[in-house]
């Protein structure tokens, strides 16, 4: 372990493992000017918790970190929020007439509904937000991107992410208990109650998925990790930050007196309670390996812990008050022990530390030529040289301007155009000015094209094209499958072969959740291809045809294949 409290030097982002001259997050390891402890006030109009002094607001956000007021002496007497807008009163049995004790031996120790939760969120924000946002900035989060903040807890990280993606981006903020973030007032921030280990992941296509101090408390951590990886778009980044108490188990690393020994005994008891509830106290160090095993590329990690920060003092006092009843009920400490420890903490002279925060990040692999979050985009000419997909007999590649002649020939064939225009050919001018630009379009949040030139693999002969196109420009959640092949390719199984390959690639690599396809009800050839490709009939409907063609009076049909059905089909195969 390095002298500055870092674990290793390789793979770190900036000086994220260092501690400032006074042990605080500031000169070393901060984003912006962080002076003391984040203050989240329930007085004066703020919605997010309790503090002293004036409420904070997003207007004082500096480089993603909220500017904090330098009043550590006041912070030691920080008042709890008694009237949180979503707070539920939880009555606990009394003991000794003075102290309330919560005695159940199961469940999450640090309940967001307890009044101390807001204090803890504020302290954690000062301690770790600078580290979090240094990593967020290093991986390249910028305007217009989509972010999933998992287990948000308090508002500081969602607000910092929202500031970076701007009004053209999106931040989805989820937690089992959204009490402290429910009222975030931003048009591009969505708050949703969600259990990452139990509920289906949100629709895919996130540029960044981030979770801090979440997975260490989740019983089914492996499943939660799988769901977060699945929610990434190709090239998207997963950033996980979790504690590893085993790397540094002491609350007072310098245990030179009875006050420090008492503090370390209580901290050890706290960790015993966490372990009994399923927390993995050596989880942080495993993150790089777990990200690699999950199939992510470019995995890096570092670790950080502060010593002698006012925020450590605030965090310890709030935590001990929050778990006091369980410490006493488990025989770990008496009320007198806890009162003495809180008095020692209030002096500000214990040189308290936290467990190391291990940050690990990796990128979901992207097909050749795809852009990654921080990697830029390949030059168009380089991207077009790479096949997007190959099957036994087909090559699917990006279109270029040089394909215009082949497209003109395709759209001149009345049989090819029978169920599209009633057999009328498309003029070369329309092909060059409208069709080609449409086929060249890249969907930013899909990270790739939506249309692919199809060639016979053995000969390089142009056969036509396949469509695998997001219905919404900003999301890969639902894609439309289609194809248009010249008559020489008919009745040879090419349409089914290409469609199946695209479907498999979409579900495996592109974050697709549902594939849909439409055709005229009388187009039996295309309906057969849909069925052979694994899609099932969904509905019949009447389209709005500006120029009705033969057969349009029978309406249209839609077929679909969901991820769940695709996975089930793979299991049964």
The tens digit of pLDDT for each residue in 454-510 reads 999 888 899 999 999 888 766 668 899 999 999 989 999 999 999 999 999 998 888
C-alpha triplet 144, 517, 199: angle, nearest 5°: 55
- Is the per-residue pLDDT at 442 higher than 50? yes
Residue that is last in its domain, among 363, 398, 424: 363
Domain boundary residue, one of 314, 331, 363: 363
Per the structure, how many domains does the chain have? Answer: 2
User: Is the same domain home to 311 and 430?
Assistant: no
Is residue 271 pLDDT above 90, yes or no?
no
Write down the mean pLDDT value for the chain.
76
Task: Domain of residue 447: give its range.
Answer: 380-572
Q: Kindly indicate the confidence band of residue 514, based on its pLDDT and cuts at 50, 70 and 90.
A: very high
* 183 and 62 in a common domain: yes
517 has pLDDT over 80: yes
Residue 99 lies in a domain: yes
Name which residue leads in pLDDT, 49 or 195.
Answer: 195
Same domain (yes/no): 88, 184: yes
Does residue 41 lie in a domain region?
A: no
- pLDDT given for residue 17 in this prediction: 31
Mean pLDDT of 187-202: 89
Looking at the structure, tell me whether residues 427 and 355 fall in a common domain.
no
CATH number at residue 130: 3.40.50.150
Query: Which is nearest to 28 in space by CA: 36, 41, 17?
Result: 17
Bridge partner residues of 269 (DSSP):
none
266/277: higher pLDDT: 266
pLDDT at 77 over 50: no
Q: What's the confidence (pLDDT) of residue 551?
A: 87
Note whether residue 505 is domain-resident.
Answer: yes
Please check whether residues 128 and 166 belong to one and the same domain.
yes
Asked if the model's pLDDT at residue 72 lies above 60, the reply is no
The predicted-structure confidence for 373-422, as pLDDT tens digits, reads as follows 544 333 333 334 457 889 999 999 888 888 898 999 999 999 999 988 88
As a three-state string, the secondary structure of 476-517 is: EEEEEEEEEECHHHCCCCHHHHHHHHHHHHHHHHCCCCEEEE
Q: Determine which of 134-148, 177-191, 257-271, 399-413 has the lowest per-residue pLDDT on average.
A: 177-191
| Residue 429: partners with Cβ closer than 8 Å, 6 or more residues away | none
Query: What's the confidence (pLDDT) of residue 474?
Result: 62
**CATH number of the domain to which 434 belongs:** 3.40.630.30
Residues 388 and 350 grouped into a single domain: no
Q: Is 339 helix (H, G, I), strand (E, B) or coil?
A: helix
Distance of alpha carbon 178 from alpha carbon 189, whole angstroms: 13
β-bridge mates for residue 301, sequence order: 360
543 or 152, higher pLDDT: 152
Which of 334, 363, 392 marks a domain boundary?
363
**Domain check: are 331 and 449 in the same one?**
no
Choice among 237-246, 505-514, 564-573 with the minimum mean pLDDT: 564-573
Domain assignment of residue 491, yes or no: yes
Higher pLDDT, 440 or 79: 440
SS3 88: coil
Give the containing element (helix H, strand E) for 310: helix 310-329
Strands (E), 378-474: 387-390, 394-397, 442-443, 448-449, 451-456, 462-472
Q: 441 and 355: one domain?
A: no
Residue-level pLDDT at 471: 83
Percent of the chain with pLDDT over 90: 43
Same domain, 440 and 329: no
**390 belongs to a structural domain:** yes
Residue 179: the pLDDT is: 85
> Do 496 and 552 fall into the same domain?
yes
Q: Cα separation of 134 and 90, whole Å?
A: 38
CA separation for the pair 321, 500 (Å, rounded): 58
DSSP 100-148: E----SSS-SS-TTSTHHHHHHHHHHHHHHHHHHHHHHHTT--TT-EEE
* Residues found in the chain: 573
Residues 538 and 409 both lie in one domain: yes
Rounded to an integer, the average pLDDT of 128-148 is 92
Q: Which pTM was predicted?
A: 0.55
Asked whether the predicted pLDDT for residue 61 surpasses 50, the reply is: no
For the cut 80, the answer to whether the pLDDT of residue 132 exceeds it is yes
Cross-strand partners of 484: 465
Write out the two tokens for 62.
Answer: 């500096």
For residue 338, is it within any domain? yes
Q: Is residue 414 part of a domain?
A: yes
State what percent of residues in the chain have pLDDT above 70: 74
Q: What angle do CA 342, 347, 350 make, to 5 degrees?
A: 80
Model confidence at 151: pLDDT above 80: yes
- State whether 91 and 185 are in the same domain: yes
Residue 401 falls inside a structural domain: yes
| pLDDT in the model for residue 572 | 53
Query: 194 by DSSP, 3-state: which?
Result: coil
């Amino acid at each position: 372990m390095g002298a500055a409290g870092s674990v290793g030097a390789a793979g770190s982002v900036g000086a994220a493992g260092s501690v400032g001259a006074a042990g605080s997050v500031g000169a070393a390891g901060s984003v912006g000017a962080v002076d003391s402890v984040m203050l989240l006030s329930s007085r004066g109009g703020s919605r997010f918790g309790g503090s002293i002094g004036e409420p904070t607001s997003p207007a004082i956000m500096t480089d993603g970190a909220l500017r904090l007021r330098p009043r550590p002496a006041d912070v030691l007497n920080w008042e709890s929020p008694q009237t949180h807008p979503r707070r539920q009163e939880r009555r606990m049995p009394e003991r000794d007439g003075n102290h309330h004790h919560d005695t159940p031996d199961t469940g999450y120790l640090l309940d967001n509904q307890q009044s101390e939760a807001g204090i803890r969120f504020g302290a954690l924000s000062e301690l770790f937000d600078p580290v979090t946002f240094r990593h967020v900035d290093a991986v390249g989060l910028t305007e217009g991107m989509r972010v999933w903040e998992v287990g948000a807890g308090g508002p500081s990280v969602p607000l910092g992410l929202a500031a970076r993606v701007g009004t053209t981006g999106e931040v989805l903020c989820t937690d089992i208990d959204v009490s402290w973030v429910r009222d975030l007032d931003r048009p591009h921030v969505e708050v949703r109650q969600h259990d990452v280990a139990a509920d289906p992941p949100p629709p895919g296509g996130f540029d960044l998925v981030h979770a801090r101090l979440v997975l260490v408390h989740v019983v089914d951590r492996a499943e939660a990790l799988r769901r977060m990886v699945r929610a990434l778009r190709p090239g998207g980044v997963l950033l996980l930050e979790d504690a590893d108490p085993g790397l540094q188990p002491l609350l007072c690393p310098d245990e030179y007196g009875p006050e420090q020994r008492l503090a370390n005994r209580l901290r050890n008891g706290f960790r015993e309670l966490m372990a009994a509830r399923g927390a993995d106290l050596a989880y942080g160090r495993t993150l790089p390996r777990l990200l690699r095993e999950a199939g992510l590329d470019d995995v890096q990690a570092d670790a950080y812990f502060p010593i002698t920060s006012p925020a450590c003092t605030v965090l310890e006092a709030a935590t001990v008050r929050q778990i006091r009843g369980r410490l006493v009920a488990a025989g770990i400490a008496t009320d007198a022990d806890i009162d003495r420890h809180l008095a020692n903490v209030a002096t500000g002279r214990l040189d308290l530390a936290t467990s190391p925060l291990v940050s690990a990040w990796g990128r979901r692999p992207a097909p050749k030529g795809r852009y990654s979050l921080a990697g830029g985009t390949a030059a168009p000419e380089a991207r077009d040289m790479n096949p997007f997909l190959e099957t036994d007999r087909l090559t699917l590649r990006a279109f270029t301007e040089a394909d215009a002649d082949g497209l003109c020939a395709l759209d001149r064939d009345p049989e090819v155009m029978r169920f599209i225009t009633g057999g009328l050919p498309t003029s070369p001018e329309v092909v060059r000015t409208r069709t080609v630009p449409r086929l060249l379009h890249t969907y930013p949040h899909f990270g790739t094209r939506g249309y692919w030139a199809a060639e016979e693999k053995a000969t390089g002969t142009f056969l036509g094209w396949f469509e695998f196109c997001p219905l919404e420009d900003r999301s890969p959640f639902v894609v439309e499958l289609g194809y248009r092949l010249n008559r020489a390719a008919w009745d040879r199984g090419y349409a089914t072969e290409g469609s199946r390959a695209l479907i498999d690639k979409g579900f495996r690599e592109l974050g697709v959740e549902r594939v849909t396809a439409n055709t005229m009800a009388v187009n039996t050839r295309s309906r057969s291809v849909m069925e052979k490709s694994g899609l099932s009939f969904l509905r019949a409907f009447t389209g709005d045809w500006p120029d009705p063609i033969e057969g349009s009076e029978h309406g249209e049909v839609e077929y679909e294949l969901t991820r769940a059905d695709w996975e089930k089909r793979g299991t049964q195969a």
